[in-house]
């Protein structure tokens, strides 16, 4: 795991100072070393977090054996040794996964991307072609941003702050991205908060040649569900998940696991035990009756792990926010980012690499709102014009159920999912705040408006890269920690995506396939568990005096930078110590942190 940066421009050696500023800005992503290499028209920089091939032969930027190509990579190529066997004719100098990509490029050029697994964002400068080839992994685990500078330089980096620090661009706020943030609490993975700084979307590649770029999608989610029974599904599920975990344990440093005590992380820890004599597990919890720590301890004891518990300490939230929020570079309002930062910080005291159970909910149908959507589409009024007409008349005289109300309000479960689930400000509220732009992310497929599997696919292309992977990457890298996600192994993820809905969720149960395939690995208490978060509430946080003071400083002062983008008077109506208030506070923090650039 590392940080990458580059400037493609004539006389690239003249940009040494700018490139150094860029790599210095992302030193937290790679504290072990810093290197740069220069061609006539390309400058490449790298910050290294040493995990595979700790020797000098693993350092980047890395030249091919001809020195006609040079790569900078952020990420890990799982199963790279098997790939290496298919490219044995390349004269390798070291044992890193990075060099395998160079071997693939020498033979297949840009077509290498179709057989490259793992989490990655990379750039290869081909000096003979005078071309830059870049790509980002399928699920957006690793970030990649780019922009054109004032003198038409092409600039790229792992984080926006590196591009801003170069001094080569004056950013302009993206009104569509601002609207998406206010609605969903994060910026879409197809945009950045700035209209002139772009993100390379997940599953896309970019080619720069003669000053022009071409961005194309190289991968689409499988859209056809498979036909198989529970017995067949369990067998294949176990085989593919074990294989995914085994591949992600490859490292020249110790690999540990996050352990929440939930079904997903407990499954990962259980399977790691098949391959390692002992593992380190780490849990974060709040000290109250519903804390997850007791469940995590059960699994730790069952598998004899070296277990670390991180207990929530009553801290000054305002100080934490001011410390942590700059790592995002964009407004971000997921309330779990503070505990996520803390567990990563504590993990880094002993570990460099940690496995995570992220994305299980999207693959197995684990969220409660999937169950609600299943009930909605089975309600007698769903897409029934006559029933809806009658119910609209009826509700004028009698209260109706939540399901009836939402079926009247939304056209279908896809409409409900996109405009109710995880939504903060609706269109009218955003307009009142002065943000009239709207943005709807495109997907690699045309969703069936009544398909739960397609809604899960939308979350895999929207929420997972835009929120979950951003939180995971930024909070881990802020602490120089690599987090790996076995559930997003391409073979395993594709299998889960294509599972029939009835093997994921029904009226009584969620995560049916996981419960059936992995239940014997858990304790009885965990088998009975329902999904639980970190156990905090925004309302309780706003009881803290220092947080209210920070909010007042940022949101009740019309001179604050945030009010260049939203209306001050309307904002005051939303300061009700709830999620909308939290959303606005994070927006104000972003504007405050970046005011020197805005």
- DSSP letter string, 21-57: HHHHHTGGG-BSEEEEEE-SSEEEEEEE---S--SGG
Please state, in angstroms and rounded to a whole number, the distance separating the CA atoms of residues 132 and 4: 14
344 tagged catalytic: no
Per-residue model confidence (pLDDT) at position 290: 60
Please state, in angstroms and rounded to a whole number, the distance separating the CA atoms of residues 307 and 301: 8
Sheet holding 131-136, edge to edge: 62-63, 69-76, 119-126, 131-136, 204-209, 212-217
Per-residue model confidence (pLDDT) at position 51: 80
What is the arithmetic mean of pLDDT over 73-78?
96
Q: What separation in angstroms does the CA of 506 have from each of 81, 133, 498, 513, 520?
A: 41, 45, 17, 11, 21
What is the arithmetic mean of pLDDT over 218-233?
96
Residue 320 bridge partners (DSSP): none
pLDDT single digits (tens) 107-157: 999 999 999 999 999 999 999 999 999 999 999 999 999 999 999 999 999
Sheet holding 306-311, edge to edge: 306-311, 280-285, 255-258, 353-355, 482-484
Please state, in angstroms and rounded to a whole number, the distance separating the CA atoms of residues 99 and 70: 10
pLDDT single digits (tens) 557-594: 999 999 999 999 999 999 999 999 999 999 999 999 99
Residue 561 CB partners (closer than 8 Å, separation 6+): 591, 592, 595, 598
Determine contact, residues 290/529, Cβ cutoff 8 Å. Answer: no
Per-residue model confidence (pLDDT) at position 292: 79
276 exposure class (CB count in 10 Å sphere: 0-12, 13-18, 19+): middle
Q: What is the pTM of this model?
A: 0.95
Per-residue model confidence (pLDDT) at position 383: 93
Which position has the higher pLDDT, 541 or 172? 172
Closest CA to 184 of 425, 414, 361: 425
Please state, in angstroms and rounded to a whole number, the distance separating the CA atoms of residues 331 and 159: 14
Determine contact, residues 218/204, Cβ cutoff 8 Å. Answer: yes
Which pLDDT band holds residue 392 (cuts at 50, 70, 90)?
confident
What is the arithmetic mean of pLDDT over 455-460?
98
């Amino acid at each position: 795991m590392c940080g990458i940066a580059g400037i493609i421009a004539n006389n690239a050696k003249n940009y040494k100072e700018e490139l150094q500023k860029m790599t210095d800005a992302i030193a937290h992503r790679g504290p072990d070393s810093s290197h740069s290499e220069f061609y006539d028209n390309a400058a490449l920089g790298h910050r290294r977090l040493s995990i595979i091939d700790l020797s000098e032969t693993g350092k980047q930027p890395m030249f091919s054996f001809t020195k006609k190509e040079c790569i900078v990579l952020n990420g890990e190529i799982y199963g790279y040794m098997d790939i290496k066997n298919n490219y044995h004719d390349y004269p390798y100098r070291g044992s890193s996964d990075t060099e395998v990509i160079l071997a693939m490029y020498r033979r297949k050029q840009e077509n290498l991307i179709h057989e490259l697994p793992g989490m990655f964002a990379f750039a290869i400068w081909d000096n003979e072609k005078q071309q830059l080839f870049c790509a980002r992994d399928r699920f957006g685990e690793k970030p990649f941003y780019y922009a054109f500078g004032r003198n038409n330089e092409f600039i790229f980096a792992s984080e926006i702050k590196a591009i801003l620090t170069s001094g080569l661009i004056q950013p302009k706020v993206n009104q569509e991205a601002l609207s998406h943030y206010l609605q969903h609490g994060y910026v879409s993975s197809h945009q950045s908060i700035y209209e002139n700084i772009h993100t390379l979307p997940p599953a896309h590649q970019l080619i720069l040649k003669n000053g022009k770029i071409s961005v194309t999608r190289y991968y689409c989610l499988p859209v056809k569900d498979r036909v198989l029974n529970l017995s067949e599904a369990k067998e294949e599920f176990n085989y593919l998940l074990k294989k995914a975990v085994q591949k992600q344990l490859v490292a020249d440093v110790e690999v540990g696991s996050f352990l929440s005590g939930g079904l997903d992380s407990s499954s990962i820890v259980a399977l790691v035990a098949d391959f390692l004599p002992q593992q380190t597990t780490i849990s974060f919890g709040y000290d109250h009756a519903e804390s997850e720590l007791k469940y995590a301890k059960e699994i730790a004891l069952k598998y004899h792990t070296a277990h670390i518990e991180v207990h929530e300490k009553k801290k000054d939230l305002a100080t934490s926010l001011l410390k942590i929020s700059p790592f995002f570079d964009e407004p971000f309002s997921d309330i779990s980012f503070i505990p996520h930062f803390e567990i990563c910080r504590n993990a880094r005291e002993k570990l460099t690499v940690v496995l995570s159970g992220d994305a299980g909910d999207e693959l197995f149908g684990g969220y409660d709102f999937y169950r609600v959507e299943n009930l909605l589409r089975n309600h007698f009024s769903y897409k029934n014009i006559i029933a809806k007409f009658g119910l609209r008349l009826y509700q004028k005289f009698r209260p109706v159920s939540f399901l009836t109300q939402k079926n009247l309000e939304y056209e279908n479960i896809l409409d409900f999912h996109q405009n109710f689930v995880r939504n903060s400000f609706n269109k009218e509220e955003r307009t009142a705040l002065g943000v009239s732009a709207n943005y709807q992310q495109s997907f690699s497929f045309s969703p069936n408006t009544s398909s739960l599997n397609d809604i899960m696919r939308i979350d895999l292309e929207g929420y997972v890269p835009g929120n979950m992977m951003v939180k995971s990457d930024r909070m881990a890298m802020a602490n120089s920690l690599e987090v790996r996600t076995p559930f997003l192994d391409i073979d395993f993820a594709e299998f889960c995506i294509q599972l029939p809905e009835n093997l994921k969720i029904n009226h009584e149960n969620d995560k049916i396939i996981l419960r059936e395939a992995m239940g014997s690995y858990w304790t009885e208490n965990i088998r009975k568990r329902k999904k639980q978060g970190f156990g905090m509430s925004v309302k309780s946080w706003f009881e803290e005096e220092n947080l209210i003071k920070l909010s007042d400083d940022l949101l009740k002062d019309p001179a604050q930078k945030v009010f260049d983008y939203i209306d001050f008077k309307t904002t005051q109506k939303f300061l009700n110590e709830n999620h909308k208030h939290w959303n606005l506070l994070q927006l104000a923090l972003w504007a405050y942190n970046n005011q020197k650039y805005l």
